[in-house]
Structure 1
Amino acid sequence: MTVFHLRAAGVSLVLDTRGTAARILHWGPGLGDHLPTEDPFVPAVPPSSIDVPLRLSLLPSLSEGWTGRPSLSAGEFRLIGAHSQDDNTVLVRHASADSTQEVTTELELSPQGVLRLRHRLANRGAGEIVLPCLDVLLPIPDEASELLDFTGLWSHERQPQRAPLRHGVWSRESRHGRPGHDDAFLMTAGEPGFGFRKGRVWAVHLAWSGDKRIWAERSALGYGVLGAGELLSPGQIGGEVRLAPGESYETPWLVAVFSDTGLDGLSDRLHPWIRAHSPARLPRPVVLNTWEAVYFDHDLGVLSDLADAAASVGVERFVLDDGWFAGRRDDKRALGDWYVDSSLWPEGLHPLIARVKKAGMDFGLWVEPEMISPDSALAAAHPDWILDGGTGPTWRRQRVLDLTKAHDYLLERLSALLTEYPIAFLKWDHNRDLLTSHSGRQTRALYRLLTSLRARFPHVEIESCASGGARIDLGILELVDRFWTSDTNDPLDRQSIQRWTGVLIPPEYLGGHLGAATAHVTGRTSALGLRLATALFGSAGIEWNLTAASESERLDIAAWITEHKRLRPLLHTGRVVRADSPDPAHLLHGVVAQDRTHAVFALVTLGTPRAALPPPIRLPGLDPDRLYTVRPIGVPPRTLQDAPPLWLAAGSATLTGRVLAEVGLPAPLLTPEQALLLELT
């Protein structure tokens, strides 16, 4: 066979198919036009080992001498074919020794340098196959010796954690039936001390919304790997995946990225690839969601006044949250009964929607189709539709609806709502872990339901919400338009959550809302300027009873929405950049236009700075040879200083991108929990 060399955007993948198994010789920095030959890459044979050089294959196993975690626990596989579909896609086929099983591996390198891999195992024999696991592995070099992944809790998602990669396995497994608030999210291995702007890093993400595992391993044999796959449950009789003759199983895509410029370099590949692969519908409308404004207090008069207030400040989409359907007065009942409550809405939702449309906004609605309340009419009519028969504890006083059985009902009910009412947007919630061994089947049924609904109503946008940010992954992103990033609107928590979620997901897909002064989740009170600056950068919205806001607050909000709309073309198409601050009390992040003529940055103080004079504001990502004028915008932050820096007192400064990046501008003395917004032209 041959050696395949896939190249794009400074990344190379070298795949050798000349032996008995296909092997990745290199994944990482570009190697130029010269195609490596196999001979220089054959390792030595150490003492007390197998008597041939150990080579890590696409399906590493004990049969080839690999004593690390295997890709497939099913004996020896031999290479039977490989061919390129186009310049950047290769299909490789391996078969078991008895030819009863065949694994096809698809490798694809995008123009942005994003690598995707998946396996498909087919049963070619006469008997049934029980599949314990099928995972995708990629080699990483010795220098990738420090790990970064994520953990978290409800309303505190994507909290980073770092550790050395020593000998052994660092494995993260999710059994939530969704990625979960503690999702590992993006497992990154890199040079020790790598940051946002420095260091070589290799990262993987599993594009899957169900149970999964993702790991890094460094073997004493000399190899390091990153791997991931669907976590298949052994709890069912005979295993979760059983393949009859002729049937096949396909793994989720493993999305893999290399960068030689730190974590921002990962975003520089992932964001353009996601924008091309699953493009958002632009411009993203400014949203008002009613949840933290009225909760379950649904009243036409109250909601009409809220709609008028929203329209007066420039909101473009009004979303009615939980509490609109039959019998729903709190979170203890009625899930599954997706009919408008006639006692609350004798004329249906028509009067409210008419008010919303008259005010110039479109209308959205909250639903939670995957769940069922035990005392709902649906549960009484179809108790067999409750997943696992309703065993185990309830969660948030609800159970899980078996989507393999309820697909037609849900499609009919949602279609009826979307047909009767001019609904432009569904906030699709998912408020509990599944606690079941049927995660894979349920996840695939969800994908099928979303696919069916989008085919019928292609104009309707869908937001993925899962108790906030417990289901943010590239699998479901192909079927939704927006993520609810977290249930907290506290700007201090949001600064960290949005910063780290944004390494993988571009900002236009991430809902970020302006909340009330005292946050619903944390009880912390924050300045309006910090709240506005935090919500500016994503898919912006409001979660606040504006009828209770003061006149001056409404004026500031209206000005903020005007500014957001003006900056939206930049914020939702530009390049996201983040600085590595020497002081953890300071965060600096921004968005720079693709042609580098325009940028917006935020300097945020999370707490008390280490020194009386904070470090300069050094702005990354600019054209070093262009002149930029820097000026503050938005609500002025609170400072404690006898005199501001001279450039800020003058109202602006004009310097080259090189000076702004290397020397920077003196920072004002912001008090804790403040934000300074800067626009560069």
Structure 2
Amino acid sequence: MSQGFRLDGGGETLVFLTTEAGAPRLVYWGPDLGAADPVPALARLSLRAIPHGMLDGGERLTWLPEAGQGFTGHPGLLAHRDGAELVTQMTLAASELASGAASLVLEDAAGGVRLTLTLALDAATGVLSSRAALRNLGDEPLTLDWLAAGAFDSPHADLLLFDGRWTREFIPVRQTLSTGLIAKENRTGRTSHHAPPFAVIGEAGFGEIHGEAVGLHLAWSGDHRIFAERLRDGRIQVQAGELLHPGEVILAPGETYETPALYLARSACGLNGLSDRFHPFVRDVILGGRLRGKTRPVHYNGWEAIYFDHDLATLKTLADLAAEAGAERYVLDDGWFKGRPDDRSGLGDWSVDPAKYPEGLTPLIDHARGLGMEFGLWVEPEMANADSDLLRAHPDWILGDPGRDQPLGRGQYVLDLTRPEVSDNLYSQLDALLSQNAIGYLKWDMNRDLTHALSGGRAAVHRQTLAVYALIDRLRAAHPGVEIESCSSGGGRADYEILRRTDRIWTSDCNDPIERQAIQRGFSIFFPPEVMGSHVGAAASHTTARTASLDLRAMTALSGHMGIEADLRAFSEAERAALAAAIAVHKTLRAELHAGRTLRLEHPDPGCLAFAQLGETLGLVSAAQVATPLTVGLLPLRLAGLEPEATYEITMVNPPARPFAVMKRRIPLVKGDTLRATGLMLAQLGVPLPVMRAGEIAVFRLERIAP
């Protein structure tokens, strides 16, 4: 007989049905059902007819479906003992229910396994977390091939997955699951540029502001697999978990494997509704509230100004110009350590290059701090060049099969952090660097994929990922005041588990604002703006060679964790003044924007990418024309998410002064006027936009003045 339990939080109710056999089944996820017990009615409503041609009990789609229970889709558990497939028929052995949380223990004595499912619904945001842990109770080793962190039945078939590449991350791809299985897999040893561990499944045509949708994220920085499968009875199951390589997890008797956390959220109003849940969850749960109310300092990073050509006088000049523009943190990128004239040598030897810095980093640090800027430094601890003292002394420290040639990536190898002596060496080097210098920030990079990542003859991506976490945790414990940025050739390591121990994500190595508009839009679904590194680059992009106006570059960087990454010596005085003015605007808004809502707005012109960021009283609205408009004029931009009865004062941050912006009739905002309107008016009629060509942007400041 079915029993059940419910989880409540964030205005949502989830109801699970349990029986003696197998994992619980999710039967309801929707608006709060109130105080009455919904289980009896939902138990009846969830009964499905079983057609001929199937097993008598039908397909048992539970939170962890088992093939041994008659499930013929992709099971939630795949394992074997010395080649003999593990057939499980688990029964519920124990359960513990608390407010918003449940822990269920399932056992199969004959199979020699115990499975613990842990579910928790965040009371404030309604974000669900799910983990599964498998313990080997048998007398023989158990090889685990797959364990889902959770599996749920989706009533919808429209999928939003994410694609991309280096310098073009977080690109959404829409498709409909008609039959079979659609999977996104990552085998790069990091979250990847092309298959980040995010997905959304929702009703047909769901968008930014409409449609029911469920967003899911596997919080794991290694390899992963997310898939949706249409079963033969028409239902759709969705699963996510760590992608395990052959023989990677072999549980000795008594050992346990636990999946990464799977985070899920439901929205009745499209992708913006998902962000409304995920963003505060990240701020308060993933980050533990440590960035709440903390000013995110404007960066200056000199990588695209000097590359490997380090000269103290030049670096001091750049620091002077950065401080004049309003930068508050000065980051010295790659090339500062010994034996590093290019990217083919030196990596792994984390001591200051005496040829470039005969007095160490102190003169540059003191200069930057004297200008009121914190000092930050680039490191890539997980890697080493063959041409390094480290690998000359320890050539066996490379992660891989010793009998095979390890392909190079950016001229470097991956160090085997699963070996304690390797992690200890790296910790000692970094600890000394931080102890001996006034460094408040590390840009932690990881610039290559993992290939045949073996240690001790066994696949080791899982252990390597945990070792990276442990190294960062150890450094943070020793230096709690140091912030860390997660960078991996840009946005190649962006997930909630790395974010638990870092403070910023470098969104992309591409600072071209046309590309950045799309990159940051995809990123913003799951991440709040204060962790999104967004920099003003050079006029001619380092990665695309496309030229963009300073206005577009600065306004694109305005809304995230803002920074500069360009040779400021090449800027004219007028450009430096304009950049300083944009940074000043950012500083007046960041406290509210970095604690508020991010809404991606929909405009009829597909080349107009628009968003709004709304704090308690201040807001920012941006409309970037990234392609030639389809019509001679742009329709007004409707603003979602405002309080209908409130009155807002609107001004244009960047009124165009160029000759081509002159129109036969200029709108008041373009002329510098201030407008007042209610939230209802702005939602229904919208903000009038100026005539814009491709590569132009209109940015508006909103202030709620009443009630």
User: Pairwise mapping of residues 10-49 of structure 1 onto structure 2 (< 5 A)?
Assistant: 10-33=11-34, 34=36, 35-37=38-40, 38-49=43-54
Q: CA 1:93–1:77 in structure 2 vs 1: closer, same or farther (change >3 Å)? A: farther
The one of 108, 118, 139 aligned to 1:126: 139
- Tell me which residue corresponds to 1:401: 415
- Tell me which residue corresponds to 1:242: 250
Cα shift at 1:645? 1.9
Distance in 2 of aligned mates of 1:637 and 1:21: 68
Q: CA 1:151–1:618 in structure 2 vs 1: closer, same or farther (change >3 Å)? A: same
Cα shift at 1:27? 4.6
Query: TM-score under structure 1 normalisation?
Result: 0.97
Given that 1:54 and 1:65 are in contact with CA atoms closer than 8 Å, whether structure 2 keeps it comes out as yes
- Tell me which residue corresponds to 1:585: 607
Distance in 1 of aligned mates of 2:428 and 2:671: 61
Distance in 2 of aligned mates of 1:618 and 1:30: 27
Q: Give the share of equivalent positions with the same residue, in percent.
A: 43
Cα shift at 1:297? 0.9
Q: CA 1:650–1:489 in structure 2 vs 1: closer, same or farther (change >3 Å)? A: closer
> Which piece of structure 1 moves more, 28-37 or 541-550?
28-37
- Tell me which residue corresponds to 2:74: 69
The one of 134, 138, 154 aligned to 1:141: 154
Distance in 2 of aligned mates of 1:42 and 1:312: 68
The one of 192, 216, 221 aligned to 2:233: 221
- Tell me which residue corresponds to 2:83: none
Q: CA 1:349–1:96 in structure 2 vs 1: closer, same or farther (change >3 Å)? A: same
Distance in 2 of aligned mates of 1:635 and 1:558: 16
Distance in 1 of aligned mates of 2:23 and 2:241: 19
* Secondary structure of residue in 2 paired with 1:475: helix
Cα shift at 1:76? 1.8
- Tell me which residue corresponds to 2:674: 652
Distance in 2 of aligned mates of 1:637 and 1:454: 48
Distance in 1 of aligned mates of 2:657 and 2:220: 41
* Secondary structure of residue in 2 paired with 1:58: coil
> Which piece of structure 1 moves more, 1-10 or 561-570?
1-10
* Secondary structure of residue in 2 paired with 1:216: strand
Given that 2:656 and 2:670 are in contact with CA atoms closer than 8 Å, whether structure 1 keeps it comes out as no
> Which piece of structure 1 moves more, 502-511 or 431-440?
431-440
1:426 aligns with 2:442: yes
User: Pairwise mapping of residues 143-292 of structure 1 onto structure 2 (< 5 A)?
Assistant: 144-234=156-246, 239-277=247-285, 278=287, 279-281=289-291, 282-292=294-304
1:674 aligns with 2:674: no
User: Pairwise mapping of residues 341-352 of structure 1 onto structure 2 (< 5 A)?
Assistant: 341-352=353-364
The one of 594, 606, 620 aligned to 2:626: 606
Q: CA 1:677–1:161 in structure 2 vs 1: closer, same or farther (change >3 Å)? A: same
1:572 aligns with 2:585: no
Q: CA 1:358–1:391 in structure 2 vs 1: closer, same or farther (change >3 Å)? A: same
> Which piece of structure 1 moves more, 258-267 or 18-27?
18-27
Given that 2:23 and 2:65 are in contact with CA atoms closer than 8 Å, whether structure 1 keeps it comes out as no
RMSD value, Cα:
1.5
Given that 2:337 and 2:350 are in contact with CA atoms closer than 8 Å, whether structure 1 keeps it comes out as yes
User: Pairwise mapping of residues 90-105 of structure 1 onto structure 2 (< 5 A)?
Assistant: 90-98=102-110, 100-105=112-117
Given that 1:314 and 1:561 are in contact with CA atoms closer than 8 Å, whether structure 2 keeps it comes out as yes
Cα shift at 1:601? 0.5
Q: Residue deviations 1:282-304, cap 9 Å, x none?
A: 21000000100111111111101
Distance in 1 of aligned mates of 2:701 and 2:219: 35
Distance in 2 of aligned mates of 1:100 and 1:211: 27
Cα shift at 1:571? 1.5
Cα shift at 1:97? 4.0
Cα shift at 1:8? 1.3
Q: Residue deviations 1:519-549, cap 9 Å, x none?
A: 1111111011100110001110000111221
Cα shift at 1:587? 1.4
1:54 aligns with 2:64: no
The one of 474, 498, 504 aligned to 1:452: 474
* Secondary structure of residue in 1 paired with 2:698: strand
Given that 2:20 and 2:92 are in contact with CA atoms closer than 8 Å, whether structure 1 keeps it comes out as no
Q: CA 1:393–1:141 in structure 2 vs 1: closer, same or farther (change >3 Å)? A: closer
Distance in 1 of aligned mates of 2:6 and 2:385: 54
Distance in 2 of aligned mates of 1:529 and 1:214: 39
Q: CA 1:326–1:613 in structure 2 vs 1: closer, same or farther (change >3 Å)? A: same
Given that 1:574 and 1:592 are in contact with CA atoms closer than 8 Å, whether structure 2 keeps it comes out as yes
Cα shift at 1:280? 4.9
User: Pairwise mapping of residues 253-332 of structure 1 onto structure 2 (< 5 A)?
Assistant: 253-277=261-285, 278=287, 279-281=289-291, 282-332=294-344
- Tell me which residue corresponds to 1:435: 451
* Secondary structure of residue in 1 paired with 2:39: coil
The one of 545, 550, 553 aligned to 2:575: 553
1:617 aligns with 2:637: yes
Q: CA 1:637–1:335 in structure 2 vs 1: closer, same or farther (change >3 Å)? A: farther
Distance in 1 of aligned mates of 2:372 and 2:359: 21
1:496 aligns with 2:511: no
- Tell me which residue corresponds to 2:405: 391
Return 5+ residue gaps in structure 2 as ranges.
Answer: 79-85, 453-458
Cα shift at 1:671? 1.8
* Secondary structure of residue in 2 paired with 1:352: helix
Distance in 1 of aligned mates of 2:507 and 2:672: 38
The one of 658, 661, 665 aligned to 2:687: 665
* Secondary structure of residue in 2 paired with 1:133: strand
Given that 1:158 and 1:185 are in contact with CA atoms closer than 8 Å, whether structure 2 keeps it comes out as no
The one of 123, 130, 147 aligned to 1:117: 130
Given that 1:130 and 1:243 are in contact with CA atoms closer than 8 Å, whether structure 2 keeps it comes out as yes
Amino acid paired to 2:148 = D
Q: CA 1:494–1:206 in structure 2 vs 1: closer, same or farther (change >3 Å)? A: same
Given that 2:69 and 2:89 are in contact with CA atoms closer than 8 Å, whether structure 1 keeps it comes out as no
1:4 aligns with 2:5: yes
Return 5+ residue gaps in structure 1 as ranges.
Answer: none
> Which piece of structure 1 moves more, 381-390 or 561-570?
381-390
Q: Residue deviations 1:73-105, cap 9 Å, x none?
A: 232232233434521110011112416210101
- Tell me which residue corresponds to 1:483: 505
Q: Residue deviations 1:561-599, cap 9 Å, x none?
A: 111111011110110011122111111101112x4x321
Distance in 2 of aligned mates of 1:506 and 1:548: 32
Distance in 2 of aligned mates of 1:637 and 1:464: 39
Cα shift at 1:2? 4.0
Given that 2:199 and 2:217 are in contact with CA atoms closer than 8 Å, whether structure 1 keeps it comes out as yes
Given that 1:577 and 1:590 are in contact with CA atoms closer than 8 Å, whether structure 2 keeps it comes out as yes
Amino acid paired to 1:273 = F
Distance in 2 of aligned mates of 1:166 and 1:18: 31
> Which piece of structure 1 moves more, 30-39 or 430-439?
30-39
Amino acid paired to 1:54 = E
Q: Residue deviations 1:229-261, cap 9 Å, x none?
A: 111101xxxx11011112110000111111000
Given that 1:587 and 1:604 are in contact with CA atoms closer than 8 Å, whether structure 2 keeps it comes out as yes
Query: TM-score under structure 2 normalisation?
Result: 0.93
* Secondary structure of residue in 2 paired with 1:503: coil
* Secondary structure of residue in 1 paired with 2:147: coil
1:462 aligns with 2:484: yes
> Which piece of structure 1 moves more, 439-448 or 216-225?
216-225
Distance in 2 of aligned mates of 1:75 and 1:430: 40
Distance in 2 of aligned mates of 1:185 and 1:162: 16
Cα shift at 1:635? 6.1
Amino acid paired to 1:16 = L
